[in-house]
Structure 1
Amino acid sequence: MTIVNRKPAIVTASYAIEPCSGTSGNTGKNPDCCAYCHRRKETEWCDLGARELEILSSSKHSRIYEAGELLYQQGDDCNGVFCIRDGIVGDRRVDADGNSVLVRLNYGATTLGYQEFLTKTEYRNTAEILQDSFVCFIHRSVISQLLSSDSALGERFLRRSIRDTQKLEDNYVVAMNASIRSRLLHVLLVLYERNGKIDTADRHVLEIPIARADLASLVGTGPETISRTIRKLQQDRLVEFDGRTAFIRNLDAVYNEIVALN
């Protein structure tokens, strides 16, 4: 599969960012101010001081991106980082033959591009919006300023990089030892934990935000194999599929099968 060659989305604010202090007659908490962002405590920006938060809020560029837009493309110069407040953004890697592989799903409270910023390299992947997303862009000059005034921010990004590396190693071990069926069930459980719900029939429902070929990439197999595995799961009445919607009647049965298969 070859990635669609879209022009990267322009990261400019689609509206004026109000000051955090609630000036000009605005005494309420501005939700677009970093100090009041409901995701901030889950991010590396969690412990910034009031002055640093004011710098961040007044310097960032925020907008809502639609599915299919790109934040940046593989090989672009790293001009800063992108902080996802809400939505889903996929990391894609394109090989020398032009084949695109979805390597990661990123949700709210995730900062993209920080490793490239810290190592002063180009973006390693293409960041594609998979579900309408609210994203903030922070220019590299602002990050440098914040790092100069708050050394702990750099330490938090370093710890995040270590955790990401450990997770990558864990995923590699799973890919080498777990069956395709087990890996698919694991991905479905992760998606359910992110945005699942229970319907009126007491089924656990999850929306799969990606095409079947991308689902196969996440699992580490081909589209034909993932299709056969999905059919087998349906035959075994473990998971039902209707387009991009999956239904799980018994979560414990899925957990138990993953453990048994591993």
Structure 2
Amino acid sequence: MSIKGVFPIDKWDFKSESILADLPSDIYELLTAHKSEQVYKRNEVLFREGSYPSGIFYITKGKVKKYKVDNEGKEQIVYLANTGQLIGYHAILSEDRYPDSAAVIEDSTIAFIPKEDFLKTLEHSPVLNNRLLKALSHEFSVLANSLTMFAQKTVRERLALQLIVIREKYKVNYVAGMPVEINISREDLASLVGTARENVVRVLTEFKEDSILETKGRKIIIRDVNKLIKIANLK
């Protein structure tokens, strides 16, 4: 089912697909003049926190996690980016190092656009500037909501919420009434929720017993998103 109207997905899911959509042809050609594409295998790293950016990344196909690593080496995923989204441009705009790391969570095709082409295009395109500003504003709002979620919600509520958001990212060629299949490791899911892997496995088992979802290996098939929305408790 579509969750539009029953769940405020825009508060939790940042989408940057519209940044490059329908750009004037001359601007798009300027931006992609020296673009290159590469296939990355699952868990391969695009960039690491603290390194200097040499360009931006466009997800042609696949999914990428943005994450931070604490002093003990524990990973905290801050966002999952989807096909069609741009990542890595924050550091260039702020003229600083990458504030986080990025790695693919499934085999993905990623396009790389050199920093020089990106900055040159910004100089010639008010449209691209405005879209990036709007995207940054929305992303800040999504991250602020996420911080509030971690502070106020239980593991069960947080997992339900993340499954709803991730479900939207895996709705490819979706047909009404069709269950959505999520392909994500329990480690990455635990990192998104901000808890131990054991807690995620336990709550997933509870959800299975309640006929909310089923699992096949690392795959999670959402059967009843309405029950997840109730559990997420977003009143």
Instruction: Report SS of the residue matched to 2:65.
Output: strand
Does the 8 A contact of 1:43 with 1:111 survive in 2? no
Distance 1:254 1:188 in 2: 8
Query: What pairs up with 1:42-191 in 2 under 5 angstroms?
Result: 42-191=17-166
C-alpha displacement of 1:253 = 2.8
* C-alpha distance in structure 2 between counterparts of 1:109 and 1:196, whole Å: 14
Q: What value does the CA root-mean-square deviation take over the aligned residues? A: 2.4
Quick one: structure 1 residues 100 and 85, their matched pair in 2 at CA, closer, same or farther if it must change by over 3 Å? same
Other structure's SS at 2:33 match: helix
Which residue among 222, 228, 231 is the counterpart of 1:257? 231
Distance 1:120-1:227 versus aligned 2 partners, 3 A rule: same
Alpha-carbon spacing, 1:240–1:48, altered in 2? closer, same or farther (3 Å): closer
Report 1 or 2 for greater relative contact order, CA contacts < 8 Å, sequence distance ≥ 6.
2
Contact 2:67 2:100 survives alignment (8 Å): yes
* Cα distance between partner residues in 1 of 2:224 and 2:70: 39
Structure-1 separation of matches of 2:45 and 2:232: 34
CA deviation profile, 1:41-92 (whole Å, cap 9, x unmatched): 9332235322222222322112222222221112111111111121011112
Structure 2 segments unaligned to the other structure (5+ residues): 1-15
Change (3 A) 1:135 1:255: same
Structure 1 unaligned runs (5+)? Answer: 1-40
Residue correspondences, number? 218
Answer whether contact 1:64 1:135 (CA < 8 A) is retained.
Answer: yes
Letter of the 2:119 partner, please give it: S
106-115 vs 224-233, greater mean Cα deviation: 224-233
Other-structure match for 2:220:
246
Residues 1:216 and 2:190 aligned together? yes
**Cα deviation per residue 1:87-115 (whole Å; 9 max; x = unaligned)?**
01111212223222222211012111111
Task: Provide the rounded CA distance (Å) in 1 between the counterparts of 2:128 and 2:215.
Answer: 43
Partner SS, residue 181 of structure 2: strand
| Equivalent residues of 1:84, 1:136 under 8 A apart | yes
Deviation at 1:154, TM superposition (A): 1.7
Structure 1 contact 197–204 (Cα < 8 Å) conserved: no
* Aligned residues of 1:92 and 1:100 also touching (Cα < 8 A): yes
